[in-house]
Amino acid sequence: MNSNLKIVIVEDEVLIAEFMKDILLSFNFTEVKLAHNKKQARALLTDFFPDAVLLDIRMKGELDGIVLANEINEKYKIPFVFISAHSDREIIEKAINTKPITYITKPIKEADVFAAIQLVKQKLKDDAAHFLLIKNGYENIKLFFDDILYVKSDDNYIHIFTTDDKHTIRNSLEWFKDNIKSNLFQRAHRSYIVNKSKITKTKSKSVFIGDIEIPLSRGHQIKLD
């Protein structure tokens, strides 16, 4: 199995973490990092920017894995797999609510790690058709199509407005359209691309996304599905 996936293993039991790393190395995953607590995990999520995380539910007696899973869902939106030796119903329910890709149970088996990574790879393949990857300094950011409202050109830059933020990058609207690979996005004006699914109102010379009015030029009429 050849891959360039970047993987973080978050496991407080060092021997188990090293054992899992050895398994991944045997599958030719060469970019594998270890974290043994929340602090180390958060640092790697920010600086290493992994493609996936193998995450122990309970570390040092606390449900740190579930805390981290919620942070991954909110900030990083990358797939994760839970590692667990627990069968407590309440813990399982909390874990399921975070929507992991799957579980690996202790004692760790090579076949289980293999199966989990296959599911992660499929998830990443599916997601690749639904997000745009941009750089903000040294940080990589995934912008999921459904979160993007519209894009505005500003000389040599574009501003990408999402449901909760604005991202400015040095590029063009043509670059955005070529890389987005989705018919959700349409040119409304020489300076604007809009997500058609986010339009709440239309006029003859403009469209609205919530309270935001975006000019609509004659040559760029929006066809709503």
By the 8 A CB rule, do 103 and 81 touch?
A: yes
By the 8 A CB rule, do 187 and 215 touch?
A: no
Q: Give the residue from 89, 46, 92, 87 showing the smallest Cα distance to 65.
A: 92
**Domain range list for the chain:** 6-127, 131-215
- On the question of pLDDT at 61 being above 70, the answer is no
Strands 212-215 and 52-56: unpaired
Q: Using 50, 70 and 90 to split pLDDT, how confident is the model at 58?
A: confident
Q: What is the pLDDT of residues 67-99, one digit of tens each?
A: 999 999 988 889 999 998 866 788 888 889 999
Q: What is the mean pLDDT of residues 59-64?
A: 77
> Is domain 131-215 classified as CATH 3.30.360.10?
no
pTM of the model: 0.66
By the 8 A CB rule, do 78 and 58 touch?
A: no
Q: What is the model's pLDDT at position 3?
A: 59
- On the question of pLDDT at 55 being above 50, the answer is yes
Q: What is the model's pLDDT at position 2?
A: 46
Q: What is the pLDDT of residues 128-181, one digit of tens each?
A: 668 888 887 777 788 888 899 999 999 899 999 999 899 999 999 999 988 887
> Is domain 6-127 classified as CATH 3.40.50.2300?
yes
